[in-house]
Structure 1
Amino acid sequence: MAKLPKNLSQHDIKLLRVFQTVVDCGGFTAAETELNIGRSTISIYISNLEQRLKLSLCQRGRQGFSLTQEGQAVYNAIQQLEQAHQQFSQLVAGLTDECSGELVILTADQLDQSRLNLLSKLCAALQQQAPQLQLALDVLPLQQIELALLKDQAHLALMPGYRQIDGLQYQHVFSTPIFLCCAASHPLFGVSDAAISDEVLAHYPAIHPGVDINPEGRKQLQKLQAGARAYQFDTRLALLLSGGYIGFLPEEIARPYIDSQQLRYIKPGDYQYPFNQSIVSKQTPRDSAKVQLVLNILQTLLT
């Protein structure tokens, strides 16, 4: 089995991380964006690592990217090295009750009132129980959130339960109904629900969220004609208010526009589905003490 150098320098670690990212991404081209460096630079790094290890790690060319047997062994060793680092971090974190440094919480879209209330209560409790923590809240696309959690670049996320992937754990927090809507300038605004059939709806362009949502919502979307794509609720609202599309909005976001008659619900008894929200974290996070603190607070807030 391939062995890493006995004394790993910072440069060695950098080269190993580049190699790991290339393998995770499936090749040099896909790794360019993740590493934010060009293919030629990546190639130089991999060549330097191969010289350092005196091994051929991968095949790259017209036939694509593939690992050699030695490359697979080195990649496995890197995974073991990361696990050992995580175990060490968890051990040190367990030796002290103090949580300090940055705590990163991500969300996937515009916050409705329920999620805003939950996050504000969570932040207030964190400030009281761990004032030395520096809170960092940000919004990212769903796939980037999942990657950030897996890479320990974020600690937790509040996101819709559209899928579950290995390495992450999910805690359901609440559901809100999401309804099919149209604007006052849309042809269906003045049509009664009794006169609106599935066939009628299929003739009008609809807004698709652009991701694979839960099964209930998927069944609803399959009845409609996709004419635009918008995952974020504020951009979806803009498309709706244009009068050119029908689309789904959570009740809490749609309500003020419903009350002012800028929007209406279309057959709300039939065209609705639950918008499930979960707190998501890594199963074995590097900063386990911080993550556990948040989960303990959430358990208190939700009971």
Structure 2
Amino acid sequence: MSSIKANTKPKILYSCYYARSREGEHFIPEHVFSYQISGEMIAADGKKSYHSKPGDFRISKRNHLAKFVKIPPEGGEFKVISLFLDQEILREIYQEYQFKIEKKPQEAAIISLNPHPLYQSFMTSLLSYLEVEQENNEVLFNLKIKEAVHLLLKVNPELKDILFDFNEPGKIDLEAFMNRNFHFNVHLNRFAYLTGRSLATFKRDFQKVFQETPRHWLLDKRLQEAYYLIKEKGKAPSEVYINVGFEDLSHFSFSFKKKFGVVPSSLSNSKF
């Protein structure tokens, strides 16, 4: 069960989760500045895991794939404030101040920020706005987003190389990318975008590389990985289906039985 308060077009979210959750898209479309109030969050981008605890601040970088597990404390709630630093606002700030970008941003999907009194006071003041339902708060929230960006640049000036990097993904090796990221549950247009292609070009190139459609390849690849994890690694189907990119257990079980002739639970209980 969760409770989320936000403006209609999410720019600032105050999220409360009463149970362990893996909800959410695996693609990060905008930079996100977050403050962990209570509970813990574990994120993984396929290369590294990130662990956020109460009092932690972090930046989740746009155009990255990552899985998030939100864990409430025993008998309590998982609470986090997240500000989406959209490109329009960032471009406005960049054009006004003309920051000089000095180097290519690091590849990490999540950047942990050291606690700072300015961050703490900002989030505390913001919480009072978010705990009360408000109407027509778009202008106010835009101002708060801009304030957050300036605070980030004051405390961590090196973040300018990340926040003002407006480059879009370039064309990359499709085969290597898909074999590395098939287990992320995102739409095909996200995969296309991250490999520097239009959806039509992505599908055409995919057919040339793998000799089958993206949807069929993804389904087969995820099921093969699930089979390996259940039979060889002893993983539970309820854990595996999310890890390999399925949205729900029933669809996973149906697809698994259709391909392998057995339900995943019977495979996990087998002795051979």
Bigger Rg, structure 1 or 2: 1
TM-score range, shorter chain: under 0.3
Q: TM-score by structure 1 length?
A: 0.22
Q: TM-score by structure 2 length?
A: 0.23
| Higher RCO (Cα < 8 Å, 6 or more apart) | 1
